[in-house]
Structure 1
């Protein structure tokens, strides 16, 4: 039995073992978990503008920080295992299927779950480098007022700015690439068949299964902004991370 058929068969089998009650509350719980994961510390320190640094220099320094941080974040995620090997950004099975995955492992079908998850994470790793030009365009369009406000904001103020400005264009850019990567391995077809079988077995699941392309794309973007926030915080707090003269001028050496 090939991997594609094994994935479909194994997941369908587990869905027949999943009670409607179990499936029904899974999505709301996952949504709540996602919100909690995205939250940063409620106490974020602001950064005072250095004495003697004019607004233009401040803007250049901030753009440099975002360029460096963005490149580091994307490079980390685009590496082999950049998503798959790191629990904080690893893309899980969508919606109700994550609970089903646990059941599958109990019934000796862990290899099928691993293959399904690996394909999703690999697709995100292949596509994420395409975020770079969109990041660079956003930097070019940043105003001096934007720069001063971001610089004086909290530890992830720049990341929040980037999320607001780039989320939609990044989603539009990455989604077809992610779907193409998954389609080439048969994962999208397997998922669609799986969902159809699941809804036949448990009618109340109808409409609860997310679009797989949307799920992986949103999870990939969550991972990207998490990594960018980590890099931004390093530059703000750790002198070792300020690897250029301009960063040292603006953030201190």
Structure 2
């Protein structure tokens, strides 16, 4: 009898892995739950396996996102729309080089900060619970990333901000920013807008990271073994 349960558990676990990759996850959910329960009755810790697969997916996605965005030229940040009156005025008066130097410093700072984002992400991933991970199984192509962002963005932002600031300091951003503002303030322009370029760089960097992580997750789900691992392939295998 025990041997029969083992066979049933293995078959259910295999069916669960296949169905987890199907597009119609609502229809598959009862089978996923059944597969989990039968496999656990047979002595297999399927919850733990699914949780590891989700964490492996996020780890792979964040590693690739951080590595990709750390390459020179990965970002293409320009001063925000609110700063366009400043940009246009400086260029009009022949001070466009101040804008160019500032934008270059912004992009170099964002690239350098991306390198240091990986360990911050890994710590957040390690803190995910089994229930958190299991809920992601039923989601769409970027369900893990969406959950990850919703649960961790505020904490990551507070930790990421000093990283961005430190790297902006290294690239000479603040010196360039002060120089640009000093020139701008002396121009004969009324109703000058205020600029929070530092916050803009932080927001843009965070958005770019999560967008890239989502793209990597979607690729892993599409080809889980090639871009992930055998374990991830068992969970996100094609249905």
Contact 2:86–2:184, Cα closer than 8 Å, also in 1? no
Match of 2:206 in 1: 221
> Whole-Å Cα distance in 2 between the matches of residues 126 and 195 of structure 1?
24
CA apart distance, 1:101:
3.6
Once the two structures are TM-superposed, the CA of residue 182 in structure 1 deviates from its matched residue by 2.8
Deviations 1:45-103 (A, max 9, x none): 664568546322111111111111111111101122222xxxxxx22213432454456
Distance 1:98 1:150, change over 3 A: farther
Look up the match of 2:17: none
Indicate which of 202, 205, 209 corresponds to 2:192. 205
Which structure has the bigger radius of gyration?
2
Structure 2 unpaired stretches of 5+: 1-22, 37-45
Equivalence for 1:181: 167
Structure 2 vs 1, CA of residues 140 and 117 (structure 1 numbering), >3 Å: closer, same or farther?
same
CA contact (8 A) 2:98 2:176 kept: no
Mark the runs of 5 or more structure 1 residues left unpaired by the alignment.
Answer: 1-44, 84-89
SS of 2:164's equivalent? helix
Bigger helix fraction:
2
* Equivalent pair of 1:134/1:169 in contact (CA under 8 Å): no
Q: TM-score, normalised by structure 2?
A: 0.70
Distance in 2 of aligned mates of 1:63 and 1:129: 20
Alpha-carbon distance between aligned partners in 2 of 1:195 and 1:99, rounded to the nearest angstrom:
12
The change in CA–CA distance for 1:161 and 1:243 in structure 2 (over 3 A counts) is: closer
Contact 2:168–2:174 (Cα < 8 Å) also in 1:
yes
Distance 1:99 1:205, change over 3 A: closer
Label 1:126 to 1:141 Cα distance change in 2 as closer, same or farther (>3 A): same
Q: 2:78 aligns with which of 76, 80, 92?
A: 92
Please give the TM-score of this superposition, normalised by the length of structure 1. Answer: 0.67
Determine whether 1:248 maps to 2:204.
no
Number of aligned positions between the proteins: 201
Instruction: Give distance in 2, aligned partners of 1:168 and 1:126.
Output: 21
Q: Relative to 1, partners in 2 of residues 1:149 and 1:187: Cα closer, same or farther, differing over 3 Å?
A: same
Equivalent in the alignment of 2:67: 75
**1:165 corresponds to 2:157:** no
Structure 1 contact 69–232 (Cα < 8 Å) conserved: yes
In the alignment, is residue 122 of structure 1 matched against residue 114 of structure 2? no
Moved over 6 A (4+): none
Change over 3 Å in CA distance of 1:186–1:245 after alignment to 2: closer
